[in-house]
Amino acid sequence: MKMIIRWFSGGDDSVTLEQIRQIPGVSGVATMLSDIPVGEIWPQTRLEALRDEIHAAGLELEVIESVNIHEDIKKGLPSRDKYIKNYCKTIENLSKIGVKCLCYNFMPVMDWARSNLAYTLEDGSTAMAYDHDEILKMNPSMIAEKMLSDSKGYSLPGWEPERLKLMSADIDFYQNMTMEQYWENLKYFLDAVIPYAEKYDIKMAIHPDDPPFSIYGLPKTINNVENIRKFLSLNSSPYNGLTLCAGSLGADMNNDVPAIVSEFASTGRVYFAHIRNIKHLEEKVFTETAHLSTCGDLDMFKVVKAFHDNGFDGYIRSDHGRMIWGEQARPGYGLYDRAIGANYLLGLWEAIDKSSPKK
Ligand code: CS2
Ligand code: MN
């Protein structure tokens, strides 16, 4: 297991590599080139410079989060082949700088969604929060506007400006698409890309839908145990696997997160783990919290033990953190709370590892 931290390159992060290097037990970062428009090839020279910068700080770059997928691929348009070809070329380029795992998602129109990026918790810290009714009351461009204006000038991963203009039209487009068609579009992508992942030895790790239930009638695929089973059977290559995000899946109160971790970690097809906690105020209304079990609904001991006892050997990152101690940072991605979270998770891992042998 390797503990890593997400970091945004190109001056788009308040957190520095030097700071990350000083978090005990953290060996590397997950990052991306956020200025390359979705669908275009990530240039080799840019990637080499990125690798050199991270290595010079004494950290590893083995995980990319994310190479986002062009909407035409999700829509199944004829132009998808061009974008898939670019995706495969990016995989080749990533392999040349030593990347081992690629996290991506297949959410239509928008990546993750929250109704509030700075909800005040009891202790005075702020965290991102989700209220389903509030989301439905806003139209998508209102959400986009609100999220971007609350993001303190940082780009929000998955909310690329070029996507936002098309949001309403894209949402309309999916109203006429069946779930089966959407699954077929996902399979088409996998069948085209996975052979390149195999060739270049990069594990493809899909991120669950966040939230894991439909908004605006959009299709959802990676949101519960049945659908994750279905996803893995679409393409049975060991290079077709998962990013298992505890907080995303935990946002559906029907999901038993430790059981989901056990089932899929034991298949050896979980390559990346995002571990964070959330607290429900009611169904489909939740706030993100500190990682500790007592702060949220998820039992982190059970979650980490499920990874450990099922032989998980991939990358873990503490996921979204709260904003604490007056830190000014991209919502969810400050230094302090994620560093605390990473060390809590490392502590759990060490205790579990020293007291129980691996399966
Ligand atoms: C999410 C996503 O895990 C997260 O932090 O907020 O932005 C995630 O990075 C993408 O969905 C992965 O493609
Ligand atoms: Mn996640």
**67/70 Cα distance (integer angstroms):** 9
Atom of ligand 1 nearest to the CA of 274: 3
Ligand 1 site, residue 112, Cβ cutoff 6 A:
yes
Partnered with residue 315 across adjacent β-strands are 2, 272
Q: What is the mean pLDDT of residues 290-308?
A: 98
Smallest CA-to-CA distance from 273 within 207, 208, 210, 317 is with 317
Q: Has residue 358 got a pLDDT over 60?
A: no
Q: Is the pLDDT of residue 16 over 90?
A: yes
Question: How far, in Å, is the centroid of ligand 2 from the Cα of 24?
Answer: 22
Mean pLDDT of 29-44: 96
DSSP secondary-structure letter at 40? S
Nearest ligand to the C-alpha atom of residue 276 = 2
Low-confidence winner among 120-129, 141-150, 290-299 (lowest mean pLDDT) = 141-150
pLDDT confidence of residue 148: 81
320 alpha carbon, closest ligand: 1
For the chain, the helix, strand and coil percentages under 3-state DSSP, each to the nearest 5: 40, 20, 40
Tell me if 329 CB under 6 Å of ligand 1.
Answer: no
For 329, half-sphere exposure in the C-beta direction (CA atoms, 13 angstrom radius) is 24
Compute φ and ψ for 271, nearest 5 degrees. -105, -20
Strands 203-207 and 126-131: unpaired
338 lines ligand 1 (CB under 6 A): no
Compute, in angstroms, the gap from residue 101 CA to the centroid of ligand 1. Answer: 14
List domains and CATH numbers for the chain: 2-355 (3.20.20.150)
**pLDDT higher than threshold 80 for residue 163:** no
CA distance 356 to 359: 9
354 C-alpha to ligand 1 centroid (Å)? 31
Q: What is the mean pLDDT of residues 243-272?
A: 98
CA of 272 to the centre of ligand 2 (A): 10
Q: Say whether pLDDT at 274 is over 80.
A: yes
Ligand 1 and 212: CB distance under 6 A = no
Percentage above 70 pLDDT, the chain:
99
Joined together, the tokens standing for residue 87 give 């995706």
How many C-beta atoms lie closer than 10 Å to residue 148's C-beta? 16
Q: What is the pLDDT of residues 64-105, one digit of tens each?
A: 999 999 999 999 999 999 999 999 999 999 999 999 999 999
The strand ranges marked E within the chain are: 2-6, 26-31, 60-65, 101-105, 116-120, 126-131, 203-207, 240-245, 270-275, 278-282, 285-288, 315-318
Task: State if residue 65 touches ligand 1 by the CB under 6 angstroms criterion.
Answer: yes
Least confident of 47-61, 144-158, 260-274, 303-317: 144-158
Mind listing the pLDDT tens digit for each residue in 209-225?
999 999 999 999 999 99
Q: Contact, 54 vs 28, CB < 8 A?
A: yes
Per the CB < 8 A criterion, the answer to whether 66 and 57 are in contact is: no
Give the Cα separation of 215 and 198 in Å (integer): 34
Average pLDDT of the residues of the chain: 95
Nearest ligand, CA 244: 2
Confidence band (pLDDT; 50, 70, 90) for 55?
very high
For residue 272, pLDDT over 90 is answered with: yes
| Claim: this prediction has a pTM higher than 0.85 | yes
Please, what is the Cα angle at 37 between 35 and 41, to 5 degrees? 100
Does the Cβ of 103 fall within 6 Å of ligand 1? Answer: yes
Nearest ligand 1 atom to alpha carbon 320: 5
Mean pLDDT of 316-320: 95
Q: What is the mean pLDDT of residues 183-192?
A: 98
Task: Say if ligand 1 is within 6 A of residue 288 CB.
Answer: no
Task: Find out whether the beta carbon of 341 lies less than 6 Å from any atom of ligand 1.
Answer: no
pLDDT higher than threshold 90 for residue 54: yes
Q: Is the pLDDT of residue 154 over 90?
A: no
Residue 248 scores a pLDDT above 90 = yes
Confidence class for position 282, pLDDT limits 50, 70, 90: very high
298 contacts 277 by C-beta, under 8 angstroms: yes
What is the pLDDT, as a whole number, of residue 155? Answer: 82
What atom in ligand 1 is closest to the CA of residue 107?
11
Q: For residue 78, how far is its CA from the centre of ligand 2 (angstroms)?
A: 30
Within 277-355, residue ranges assigned H as helices are 300-309, 336-355
Least confident of 19-23, 44-48, 228-232, 355-359: 355-359
Q: How confident is the model at residue 359 (pLDDT cuts 50, 70, 90)?
A: low
Report which residue type is found at 88. C
